[in-house]
Amino acid sequence: MELSNLSVLLVWSSATALVIALIAFALDLAQHAERRVHPAPTDATDVLAPRRAAGIAMATTWLATALLAAAIVLRGLAAGRTPWANMYEFTLVGTLAALAAFVLLNLRRDLRFAGAFISSTAALFLVLALNAFYTPATGLFPALQSYWLVIHVGVAIGATGIFTVACILSALQLLRDHREDGGVVLGRRWWRWLDVMPAPTELESMAFRLNAVGFVAWTFTLIGGAIWAESAWGRYWGWDPKEVWTFIIWIVYAAYLHARTTRGWTGRRAAWLVLVGFACVIFNFTAVNLLINGKHSYSGLTAG
Protein backbone atom coordinates (compact mmCIF):
# COMPACT_ATOMS: atom_id res chain seq x y z
CA MET A 1 0.00 0.00 0.00
CA GLU A 2 1.28 3.47 -0.90
CA LEU A 3 2.14 5.81 1.96
CA SER A 4 -0.48 8.34 0.87
CA ASN A 5 -3.22 5.70 0.87
CA LEU A 6 -2.10 4.40 4.24
CA SER A 7 -2.22 7.96 5.54
CA VAL A 8 -5.84 8.31 4.42
CA LEU A 9 -6.71 4.99 6.06
CA LEU A 10 -5.19 6.20 9.34
CA VAL A 11 -7.17 9.44 9.16
CA TRP A 12 -10.38 7.45 8.78
CA SER A 13 -9.29 5.25 11.69
CA SER A 14 -8.68 8.33 13.81
CA ALA A 15 -12.13 9.71 12.95
CA THR A 16 -13.70 6.37 13.89
CA ALA A 17 -11.86 6.34 17.22
CA LEU A 18 -13.09 9.89 17.89
CA VAL A 19 -16.70 8.81 17.30
CA ILE A 20 -16.23 6.01 19.84
CA ALA A 21 -14.70 8.53 22.25
CA LEU A 22 -17.67 10.85 21.67
CA ILE A 23 -20.11 8.09 22.65
CA ALA A 24 -18.12 7.26 25.78
CA PHE A 25 -17.79 10.91 26.81
CA ALA A 26 -21.53 11.43 26.27
CA LEU A 27 -22.27 8.37 28.39
CA ASP A 28 -20.03 9.73 31.13
CA LEU A 29 -21.88 13.07 31.11
CA ALA A 30 -25.23 11.29 31.26
CA GLN A 31 -24.07 9.17 34.19
CA HIS A 32 -22.89 12.22 36.09
CA ALA A 33 -26.11 14.08 35.46
CA GLU A 34 -28.14 11.09 36.63
CA ARG A 35 -25.99 10.70 39.72
CA ARG A 36 -26.51 14.36 40.55
CA VAL A 37 -30.29 13.94 40.43
CA HIS A 38 -30.34 10.52 42.14
CA PRO A 39 -27.27 10.32 44.44
CA ALA A 40 -25.93 6.81 44.88
CA PRO A 41 -24.52 5.29 48.09
CA THR A 42 -21.05 6.57 48.82
CA ASP A 43 -19.12 3.29 48.80
CA ALA A 44 -15.97 3.15 46.66
CA THR A 45 -17.53 1.09 43.86
CA ASP A 46 -20.34 3.58 43.28
CA VAL A 47 -17.96 6.53 43.31
CA LEU A 48 -15.63 5.03 40.73
CA ALA A 49 -18.21 3.49 38.40
CA PRO A 50 -19.35 6.72 36.67
CA ARG A 51 -15.77 7.47 35.55
CA ARG A 52 -15.20 4.21 33.69
CA ALA A 53 -16.77 5.62 30.54
CA ALA A 54 -14.55 8.71 30.81
CA GLY A 55 -11.48 6.49 31.14
CA ILE A 56 -12.44 4.58 28.00
CA ALA A 57 -13.11 7.87 26.23
CA MET A 58 -9.72 9.35 27.14
CA ALA A 59 -7.88 6.17 26.09
CA THR A 60 -9.68 6.23 22.75
CA THR A 61 -8.91 9.93 22.32
CA TRP A 62 -5.23 9.24 22.91
CA LEU A 63 -5.44 6.48 20.30
CA ALA A 64 -7.13 8.82 17.83
CA THR A 65 -4.44 11.43 18.43
CA ALA A 66 -1.66 8.89 17.82
CA LEU A 67 -3.33 7.59 14.65
CA LEU A 68 -3.74 11.10 13.29
CA ALA A 69 -0.11 11.95 14.09
CA ALA A 70 1.01 8.83 12.21
CA ALA A 71 -1.22 9.76 9.27
CA ILE A 72 0.34 13.22 9.08
CA VAL A 73 3.88 11.82 9.22
CA LEU A 74 3.08 9.38 6.39
CA ARG A 75 1.52 12.20 4.38
CA GLY A 76 4.75 14.18 4.74
CA LEU A 77 6.86 11.19 3.71
CA ALA A 78 4.62 10.56 0.69
CA ALA A 79 4.90 14.18 -0.44
CA GLY A 80 8.55 14.56 0.51
CA ARG A 81 7.91 17.83 2.35
CA THR A 82 6.36 19.42 5.43
CA PRO A 83 2.75 18.17 5.52
CA TRP A 84 0.86 21.44 5.93
CA ALA A 85 0.88 23.13 2.54
CA ASN A 86 -2.83 23.00 1.61
CA MET A 87 -6.27 23.01 3.21
CA TYR A 88 -6.46 19.23 3.60
CA GLU A 89 -3.16 19.07 5.44
CA PHE A 90 -3.86 22.22 7.45
CA THR A 91 -7.12 20.68 8.67
CA LEU A 92 -5.39 17.47 9.69
CA VAL A 93 -2.59 19.20 11.57
CA GLY A 94 -4.93 21.78 13.12
CA THR A 95 -7.14 18.97 14.39
CA LEU A 96 -4.07 17.23 15.79
CA ALA A 97 -3.08 20.47 17.57
CA ALA A 98 -6.54 20.73 19.16
CA LEU A 99 -6.49 17.08 20.26
CA ALA A 100 -2.95 17.40 21.60
CA ALA A 101 -3.92 20.50 23.59
CA PHE A 102 -6.88 18.65 25.06
CA VAL A 103 -5.12 15.43 26.06
CA LEU A 104 -2.03 17.22 27.40
CA LEU A 105 -4.07 19.69 29.43
CA ASN A 106 -5.89 16.71 30.92
CA LEU A 107 -2.61 15.61 32.45
CA ARG A 108 -2.72 18.72 34.66
CA ARG A 109 -6.45 19.25 35.23
CA ASP A 110 -9.63 17.35 34.51
CA LEU A 111 -11.12 18.55 31.20
CA ARG A 112 -13.02 15.37 30.46
CA PHE A 113 -16.28 17.29 30.77
CA ALA A 114 -15.43 18.89 27.39
CA GLY A 115 -14.42 15.62 25.78
CA ALA A 116 -17.67 15.01 23.92
CA PHE A 117 -17.40 18.41 22.26
CA ILE A 118 -13.68 18.18 21.48
CA SER A 119 -14.00 14.69 20.00
CA SER A 120 -17.09 15.53 17.94
CA THR A 121 -15.50 18.70 16.57
CA ALA A 122 -12.29 16.84 15.72
CA ALA A 123 -14.20 14.03 14.01
CA LEU A 124 -16.20 16.58 12.00
CA PHE A 125 -13.01 18.33 10.88
CA LEU A 126 -11.41 15.07 9.77
CA VAL A 127 -14.44 13.92 7.80
CA LEU A 128 -14.68 17.36 6.21
CA ALA A 129 -11.01 17.25 5.28
CA LEU A 130 -11.32 13.82 3.69
CA ASN A 131 -14.49 14.60 1.74
CA ALA A 132 -14.11 18.27 0.82
CA PHE A 133 -10.44 19.25 1.00
CA TYR A 134 -8.52 16.14 0.01
CA THR A 135 -5.82 16.56 -2.60
CA PRO A 136 -3.09 14.08 -3.65
CA ALA A 137 0.30 14.33 -1.98
CA THR A 138 2.44 16.38 -4.35
CA GLY A 139 5.25 18.92 -4.31
CA LEU A 140 5.16 22.62 -3.49
CA PHE A 141 4.60 25.84 -5.38
CA PRO A 142 7.84 27.84 -5.66
CA ALA A 143 6.56 30.47 -3.22
CA LEU A 144 6.07 27.78 -0.58
CA GLN A 145 9.55 26.31 -0.90
CA SER A 146 10.90 28.08 2.15
CA TYR A 147 11.74 27.28 5.76
CA TRP A 148 9.07 29.84 6.63
CA LEU A 149 6.48 27.24 5.63
CA VAL A 150 7.58 25.20 8.64
CA ILE A 151 7.71 28.18 10.99
CA HIS A 152 4.93 30.54 9.88
CA VAL A 153 2.28 27.96 8.94
CA GLY A 154 3.24 25.59 11.73
CA VAL A 155 2.76 28.25 14.40
CA ALA A 156 -0.53 29.34 12.78
CA ILE A 157 -1.79 25.75 12.95
CA GLY A 158 -0.82 25.47 16.62
CA ALA A 159 -2.63 28.71 17.41
CA THR A 160 -5.72 27.52 15.55
CA GLY A 161 -5.80 24.29 17.56
CA ILE A 162 -5.58 26.23 20.83
CA PHE A 163 -8.28 28.67 19.70
CA THR A 164 -10.52 25.69 18.89
CA VAL A 165 -10.36 24.29 22.43
CA ALA A 166 -10.83 27.77 23.93
CA CYS A 167 -13.88 28.39 21.73
CA ILE A 168 -15.51 25.16 22.91
CA LEU A 169 -14.92 26.15 26.54
CA SER A 170 -16.46 29.58 25.91
CA ALA A 171 -19.49 27.99 24.25
CA LEU A 172 -19.92 25.71 27.27
CA GLN A 173 -19.57 28.77 29.50
CA LEU A 174 -22.47 30.47 27.74
CA LEU A 175 -24.65 27.36 27.96
CA ARG A 176 -23.82 26.85 31.64
CA ASP A 177 -24.48 30.51 32.39
CA HIS A 178 -27.90 30.43 30.69
CA ARG A 179 -28.70 27.18 32.50
CA GLU A 180 -27.99 28.84 35.85
CA ASP A 181 -30.27 31.72 34.90
CA GLY A 182 -33.13 29.24 34.50
CA GLY A 183 -33.77 29.81 30.83
CA VAL A 184 -36.91 28.27 29.38
CA VAL A 185 -35.03 26.02 26.96
CA LEU A 186 -31.80 25.26 28.84
CA GLY A 187 -33.71 24.86 32.08
CA ARG A 188 -35.33 21.64 30.92
CA ARG A 189 -34.26 18.28 32.23
CA TRP A 190 -32.48 17.02 29.10
CA TRP A 191 -29.98 19.87 29.55
CA ARG A 192 -29.13 18.76 33.08
CA TRP A 193 -25.75 17.49 31.92
CA LEU A 194 -24.75 21.15 32.05
CA ASP A 195 -25.06 20.97 35.84
CA VAL A 196 -21.94 18.79 36.03
CA MET A 197 -19.86 21.33 34.10
CA PRO A 198 -17.52 23.65 36.01
CA ALA A 199 -18.88 27.04 37.01
CA PRO A 200 -18.99 29.68 34.24
CA THR A 201 -16.20 31.65 35.91
CA GLU A 202 -13.93 28.59 35.88
CA LEU A 203 -14.70 27.87 32.23
CA GLU A 204 -13.99 31.51 31.40
CA SER A 205 -10.67 31.40 33.23
CA MET A 206 -9.54 28.30 31.33
CA ALA A 207 -10.59 29.81 27.99
CA PHE A 208 -8.77 33.04 28.79
CA ARG A 209 -5.47 31.28 29.49
CA LEU A 210 -5.71 29.28 26.29
CA ASN A 211 -6.58 32.35 24.24
CA ALA A 212 -3.63 34.21 25.73
CA VAL A 213 -1.28 31.44 24.57
CA GLY A 214 -2.98 31.28 21.18
CA PHE A 215 -2.73 35.06 20.80
CA VAL A 216 1.03 35.01 21.36
CA ALA A 217 1.37 32.31 18.69
CA TRP A 218 -0.91 34.25 16.32
CA THR A 219 1.19 37.39 16.85
CA PHE A 220 4.25 35.45 15.73
CA THR A 221 2.20 34.15 12.79
CA LEU A 222 1.46 37.72 11.72
CA ILE A 223 5.07 38.85 12.09
CA GLY A 224 6.48 35.73 10.44
CA GLY A 225 4.07 36.12 7.53
CA ALA A 226 5.25 39.69 6.98
CA ILE A 227 8.90 38.62 6.96
CA TRP A 228 8.13 35.78 4.54
CA ALA A 229 6.16 38.15 2.30
CA GLU A 230 9.11 40.52 2.11
CA SER A 231 11.39 37.63 1.16
CA ALA A 232 9.00 36.19 -1.44
CA TRP A 233 7.33 39.31 -2.90
CA GLY A 234 9.56 42.20 -1.85
CA ARG A 235 7.09 43.82 0.57
CA TYR A 236 6.04 43.25 4.16
CA TRP A 237 2.38 44.14 3.63
CA GLY A 238 0.26 44.25 0.50
CA TRP A 239 -3.39 44.15 1.65
CA ASP A 240 -3.77 40.60 0.36
CA PRO A 241 -7.07 39.09 1.65
CA LYS A 242 -5.26 36.48 3.73
CA GLU A 243 -3.01 39.13 5.26
CA VAL A 244 -5.98 41.35 6.04
CA TRP A 245 -7.97 38.59 7.72
CA THR A 246 -4.95 37.40 9.69
CA PHE A 247 -4.68 40.93 11.02
CA ILE A 248 -8.45 41.10 11.73
CA ILE A 249 -8.17 37.91 13.80
CA TRP A 250 -5.28 39.44 15.70
CA ILE A 251 -7.32 42.59 16.37
CA VAL A 252 -10.34 40.63 17.66
CA TYR A 253 -8.31 38.52 20.08
CA ALA A 254 -6.27 41.56 21.16
CA ALA A 255 -9.52 43.39 21.86
CA TYR A 256 -10.78 40.40 23.85
CA LEU A 257 -7.65 40.16 25.99
CA HIS A 258 -7.54 43.93 26.51
CA ALA A 259 -11.24 44.20 27.35
CA ARG A 260 -11.10 41.35 29.83
CA THR A 261 -7.93 42.40 31.63
CA THR A 262 -8.33 46.20 31.73
CA ARG A 263 -12.00 46.96 31.03
CA GLY A 264 -13.64 44.35 33.17
CA TRP A 265 -15.29 42.51 30.29
CA THR A 266 -16.14 39.19 31.86
CA GLY A 267 -18.94 36.68 31.62
CA ARG A 268 -21.09 36.50 28.53
CA ARG A 269 -19.60 39.49 26.74
CA ALA A 270 -16.12 38.02 26.89
CA ALA A 271 -17.37 34.58 25.81
CA TRP A 272 -19.23 36.00 22.80
CA LEU A 273 -16.08 37.87 21.76
CA VAL A 274 -14.17 34.57 21.82
CA LEU A 275 -16.79 33.03 19.54
CA VAL A 276 -16.52 36.00 17.17
CA GLY A 277 -12.75 35.58 17.07
CA PHE A 278 -12.99 31.89 16.24
CA ALA A 279 -15.62 32.60 13.59
CA CYS A 280 -13.06 34.91 11.97
CA VAL A 281 -10.50 32.08 12.11
CA ILE A 282 -12.90 29.73 10.32
CA PHE A 283 -13.78 32.39 7.75
CA ASN A 284 -10.10 33.04 7.10
CA PHE A 285 -9.48 29.33 6.55
CA THR A 286 -12.52 28.60 4.38
CA ALA A 287 -13.99 31.63 2.58
CA VAL A 288 -10.70 33.49 2.13
CA ASN A 289 -9.00 30.40 0.72
CA LEU A 290 -11.86 29.22 -1.49
CA LEU A 291 -13.81 32.30 -2.56
CA ILE A 292 -11.41 35.25 -2.55
CA ASN A 293 -8.53 35.42 -5.00
CA GLY A 294 -5.17 36.57 -3.73
CA LYS A 295 -1.51 35.72 -3.48
CA HIS A 296 -2.38 32.99 -0.96
CA SER A 297 -4.72 31.15 -3.33
CA TYR A 298 -2.23 28.30 -3.54
CA SER A 299 -3.13 27.43 0.05
CA GLY A 300 -6.48 26.14 -1.18
CA LEU A 301 -7.23 22.72 -2.56
CA THR A 302 -4.06 22.16 -4.57
CA ALA A 303 -0.34 22.47 -4.09
CA GLY A 304 2.43 21.91 -6.52
Check pLDDT > 60 for residue 293: yes
Chain center to CA of 218: 14
Domain count, the chain: 1
Q: Give the model's pLDDT for residue 143.
A: 64
Confidence class for position 208, pLDDT limits 50, 70, 90: very high
* Type of residue at 257: L
Q: Is residue 154 assigned to a domain?
A: yes
Tell me what the mean pLDDT of segment 150-163 comes to: 92
HEC letters along 9-65? HHHHHHHHHHHHHHHHHHHHHHHHHHHHHCCCCCCHHHHHHHHHHHHHHHHHHHHHH
Check pLDDT > 50 for residue 303: no
Q: Give the model's pLDDT for residue 45.
A: 42
Q: Is residue 173 assigned to a domain?
A: yes
Which is higher by pLDDT, 235 or 232?
Answer: 235
Helix (H, G, I), strand (E, B) or coil at 247: helix
% of the chain beyond a pLDDT of 70:
88
Q: Which residues contact 23 (CB under 8 A, 6 or more apart)?
A: none
Check pLDDT > 90 for residue 256: yes
Q: Is residue 111 assigned to a domain?
A: no
Q: Is residue 104 assigned to a domain?
A: no
Confidence class for position 178, pLDDT limits 50, 70, 90: confident
Q: Which residues contact 9 (CB under 8 A, 6 or more apart)?
A: 1
Check pLDDT > 60 for residue 50: no
Angle at 216 between CA 85 and CA 121, to 5 degrees: 55
CA 81 – CA 88 distance, rounded (Å): 14
Task: Specify the pTM.
Answer: 0.90
Tell me what the mean pLDDT of segment 216-223 comes to: 95
Q: Give the model's pLDDT for residue 43.
A: 44
Question: Over the range 140-149, which residues count as b (16 or more CB within 10 Å of their CB) and which as e?
Answer: beebbeeebb
Confidence class for position 145, pLDDT limits 50, 70, 90: confident
Helix (H, G, I), strand (E, B) or coil at 300: coil
Q: Is residue 70 assigned to a domain?
A: no
Q: Is residue 196 assigned to a domain?
A: yes
Q: Is residue 269 assigned to a domain?
A: yes
Q: Is residue 246 assigned to a domain?
A: yes
Tell me what the mean pLDDT of segment 272-292 comes to: 92
Which is higher by pLDDT, 77 or 148?
Answer: 77
Domain span including residue 203: 140-299
